[in-house]
Amino acid sequence: MEAVLSVEDLWKSYATRPGGPRRQALSGLGFSVPRNSVVGLLGPNGAGKTTTLKCVMGLARPDSGSIRIFGRDGGAVEARRKVGFLPEQPYFDLYLTPRKLLLYYGRLAGMEASAARPRISYLLNLVGMEDEADITMDKFSKGMLQRIGLAQALLAEPELLILDEPSSGLDPLGKLQVRDMLKSLSSGGTTILLSSHQLSEIEEICDRVIIIHKGREVASGALAELLEEEGECEVLLGKPVPESMATIPPTASWAEGGEGKRLLVPRDDLNAALASLLEAGASIAEVRSRRLSLEEFFVRRIGKQGWEVEG
Ligand SMILES: Nc1ncnc2c1ncn2[C@@H]1O[C@H](COP(=O)(O)OP(=O)(O)O)[C@@H](O)[C@H]1O
Ligand SMILES: [Mg+2]
């Protein structure tokens, strides 16, 4: 798999006050983003997501570590030319209109005005802001500004799109629209790295995840595989269930509502559990594998503490 972005052993600390002690934000973080994937950088507030993305974009300086974008050193301007970025808190001059702002960014990115104009109209339409294109942004809500931020990130037709909490400030319909937009960009070949603290968003859009906590990776990989690996098996007992089934294998538990018929067994213990069930005279009607939800996975790895399940 070709990586469009690879980050290795990234360390970053911040001074808590000028000359004061430093707080560690990233402690040896590493990950890579394969071409054409949609990767979710997931972690609770303060985990280090924004710091990571800022380091990748050259907006914060890591203490040490390596960042390569499209195989080049991340510090090279050329490396970032094909990267679009939506910051966590986009800062715009609110006395501009979206169309003027985007034209300004387009010119900064080296686009000709004649090429930028139709692209801007297309993008304003894509993010659902065509009717507000010529109104100054001081009247905009956070969600509207977020849409303009997305249009800005897409301006130069990036091959790699990096988004810091793209759904923040959006209402449920806005969130849905962003999801659809990202899915369609992804099927058009754009590689996407997005940070989020919302599990449902990540589960819906991403095919890979990097879960970070306190500046360190706690799990990463293909989402489906992670959830499958830590999943359980549901064992359906055939009738009649023997009396001795009151004592079930030590790592098994009755499935909710399935007492006496349905057992949950950790994947690694399946063979031992089946053997002991057969030994006890039970018959096995069916074994199904049950995938974890991302929330269950997360709680197992990090715990519920400090976590906003939906923010
Ligand atoms: N500019 C800064 N100065 C000092 N500390 C910071 C700064 N930015 C972030 N931090 C600290 O670094 C840690 C990681 O923050 P951040 O990267 O914003 O996390 P996330 O985006 O996952 O919520 C937090 O402890 C935060 O308080
Ligand atoms: Mg953040």
pLDDT of 280 reads: 85
Could you report the per-residue pLDDT of 141-163, keeping only the tens digit for each? Answer: 888 898 999 999 999 899 999 99
Confidence band of 308 (pLDDT split at 50, 70, 90): low
Name which residue sits closest to atom 1 of ligand 1, judged by CA.
14
The rounded Å distance from CA 40 to ligand 2 centre is: 13
Write out pLDDT tens, residues 52-76. Answer: 999 999 999 999 999 999 999 988 8
In the reported structure, the alpha carbon of residue 25 is separated from the centroid of ligand 1 by a whole-number distance in angstroms of: 6
Q: Which atom of ligand 1 is closest in space to residue 212's alpha carbon?
A: 22
Tell me how far apart the alpha carbons of residues 54 and 31 are, in angstroms, rounded to a whole number: 15
CB of 171 within 8 A of CB of 57? no
The pLDDT, as a whole number, for residue 289 is 87
Contact assessment for residue 39 and residue 64, using Cβ atoms and an 8 Å cutoff: no
pLDDT digits (tens, 9 = 90+) for 246-293: 678 888 888 888 777 888 898 888 999 999 888 888 889 999 988 888
Residue 92 pLDDT grade (very low, low, confident, very high; cuts 50, 70, 90): confident
Question: Distance from the CA of 146 to the center of ligand 1, in angstroms?
Answer: 21
Placement of tokens 């294109």 in the chain: 133
* For residue 232, pLDDT beyond 80: yes
Q: Note the pLDDT of residue 291.
A: 84
Q: Write down the pTM of the prediction.
A: 0.86
Cβ < 6 A, ligand 1 pocket: 14, 23, 25, 43, 45-51
pLDDT category at 307 given cuts 50, 70, 90 is: low
Give the length of the chain. 311
Q: Relative to the CA of 44, which ligand 1 atom is closest?
A: 22
Q: Is the pLDDT reported for residue 309 higher than 50?
A: no
**pLDDT digit string, tens, across residues 195-211:** 998 888 888 899 999 99
Q: How far is the CA of 195 from the centre of ligand 1 (A)?
A: 14
Residue 231 pLDDT grade (very low, low, confident, very high; cuts 50, 70, 90): confident
Asked if residue 310 has pLDDT above 60, the reply is no
pLDDT digits (tens, 9 = 90+) for 168-185: 888 888 888 889 889 989
**Taking residues 206-226, what's their average pLDDT?**
93
Query: What are 107's two structure tokens?
Result: 């010119």
**Quick check: 311 pLDDT over 60?**
no
Atom of ligand 1 nearest to the CA of 45: 23
Q: How far is the CA of 284 from the centre of ligand 1 (A)?
A: 52
Dump pLDDT digits (tens) for 18-54.
Answer: 888 899 999 999 999 999 999 999 999 899 999 999 9
Share of the chain above pLDDT 70, in %: 96
Looking at residue 189, the DSSP 8-state letter turns out to be T
The average pLDDT across 126-139 equals 93
More confident residue, 136 or 299: 136
Residues by chain with Cβ below 5 Å of ion ligand 2: 49-50, 88
Beta-bridge partner residues of 24:
13
Regarding predicted confidence, which is higher, 100 or 299?
A: 100
- Is there a contact between 94 and 171 (Cβ–Cβ < 8 Å)? no
Please name which of 242, 57, 245 lies closest in space to residue 254, comparing C-alpha atoms. Answer: 245
Ligand 1: residue of 11, 12, 17, 23 to mutate (most ligand atoms within 8 A of CB) is 23
**Average pLDDT of every residue of the chain:** 89
* C-alpha to C-alpha distance for 263 and 237, rounded to whole angstroms: 8
Residue 43 alpha carbon, nearest atom of ligand 1? 22
CA of 297 to the centre of ligand 2 (A): 21
Strand partners, 288: 234
Q: How far apart are the first and last CA of the chain?
A: 33
The C-alpha angle with vertex 229 and arms to 211 and 207, in degrees rounded to 5, equals 50
CA–centroid distance, residue 51 to ligand 1 (Å): 6
Please, which residues have CB within 8 angstroms of residue 148's CB and are 6 or more apart in sequence? 90, 92, 98, 101, 102, 127, 129, 137, 140
Q: Whose CA is nearest to atom 27 of ligand 1?
A: 46
Report CA 12 to chain centroid distance, whole Å: 21
Ligand 1 pocket test: pick from 11, 14, 42 the residue with the most ligand atoms within 8 Å of its Cβ.
Answer: 14
Mean pLDDT, to the nearest integer, of 79-106?
91
Tokens of 260: 């006496």
Is 90 exceeded by the pLDDT of residue 87? yes
| Ligand 1, atom 11: closest residue by C-alpha | 25
Quote the ligand 2 centre to 210 CA distance (angstroms). Answer: 15
Instruction: Domains for the chain: give ranges and CATH numbers.
Output: 3-227 (3.40.50.300), 232-290 (no CATH)
Q: How far is CA 153 from the centre of its chain?
A: 17
